[in-house]
């Protein structure tokens, strides 16, 4: 039996597929062994759901998931934010918006816009999960997040964030000072992943980033003193 969290998810999916196949076979056959096989699968599924649930209880809605994605865009963001292609820093970020016994759902801003995603898709890419300290109105923040699904991705804001790399040529102090200037390419109708998180945090009563929201990156958010890392291993048994 696989012990990893992602293997548990795949096990549940395999059980569903096998059970569906047996039920289709059963339509044309009255073999009593098929009923026994279905009962075994049902018990197996029950055990796996208990294992997944015990791990997911460590997560809460509103937890912030920092991801080291491997796309070309993520690599560019990594270089812009850390000045290094080899340093392992978050290049993407999402928020836990729903937790069920068999699935954790993230809300994130991707190139396709603000969408809901099965967290299992990122298990091998997650660097850490953090939780806001003393958020006063989490429910209000979660309601706002749900209302953002379908909002487009802010390509122009991303371009402004990438363009500021130019200021690195003048030294770290100049570069950091440039981030306090408003990003005039920031759209109020579209979102990038880190902006979605920062606005969500502000609605719950927290401020994770001290400078302009239009320039905040996943790496910036991951270093916020308002976040506590939670002890959560996706590959626990």
pLDDT tens for the 237 residues of the chain, in order: 334 555 666 777 777 778 787 787 777 766 667 777 778 778 777 776 665 554 545 789 999 999 987 776 667 666 666 666 666 788 899 999 998 877 889 999 998 999 999 998 887 788 899 999 988 899 999 999 999 999 998 777 666 666 566 555 555 665 565 555 554 455 567 888 988 999 999 999 998 877 655 567 888 899 899 999 987 655 443
pLDDT in tens, 98-143: 988 778 899 999 989 999 999 988 877 888 999 999 888 999 999 9
Alpha carbon separation from 233 to 56, 59, 98, 124 (Å, rounded): 10, 11, 18, 11
The interaxial angle of helices 138-147 and 193-203, nearest 10 deg, is 140
Q: Do the beta carbons of residue 68 and residue 125 sit within 8 Å?
A: yes
Torsion sign across C-alpha atoms 150, 102, 129, 208? positive
Cβ neighbour number for residue 131 with a 10 Å cutoff: 17
- Those residues whose C-beta lies under 8 Å from the C-beta of residue 93, and which sit 6 or more positions away, are 64, 65, 66, 67, 108, 193, 194, 197, 218, 221, 222
pTM of the entire structure? 0.66
């Amino acid at each position: 039996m696989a012990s990893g969290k992602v293997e548990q998810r795949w096990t549940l999916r395999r059980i569903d597929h096998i059970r569906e196949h047996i039920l289709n076979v059963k339509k044309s056959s009255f073999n009593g062994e098929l009923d026994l096989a279905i009962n075994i699968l049902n018990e197996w599924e029950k055990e796996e759901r208990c294992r997944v649930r015990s791990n997911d209880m460590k997560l809460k809605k509103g937890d912030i998931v920092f991801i080291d994605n491997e796309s070309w865009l993520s690599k560019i963001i990594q270089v812009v934010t850390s000045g290094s292609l080899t340093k392992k820093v978050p290049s993407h970020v999402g928020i836990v918006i729903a937790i069920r016994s068999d699935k954790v759902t993230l809300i994130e801003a991707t190139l396709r816009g603000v969408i809901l995603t099965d967290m299992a898709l990122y298990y091998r890419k997650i660097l850490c999960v953090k939780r806001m300290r003393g958020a006063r109105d989490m429910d209000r923040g979660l309601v706002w997040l749900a209302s953002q699904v379908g909002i487009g991705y802010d390509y122009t804001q991303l371009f402004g964030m990438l363009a500021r790399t130019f200021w690195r040529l003048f030294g770290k102090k100049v570069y950091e000072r440039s981030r306090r200037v408003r990003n005039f390419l920031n759209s109020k109708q579209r979102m990038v992943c880190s902006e979605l998180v920062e606005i969500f945090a502000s609605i719950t009563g927290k401020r994770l980033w001290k400078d302009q929201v239009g320039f905040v990156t996943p790496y910036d958010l991951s270093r916020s003193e308002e976040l506590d890392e939670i002890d959560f291993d996706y590959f626990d048994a």
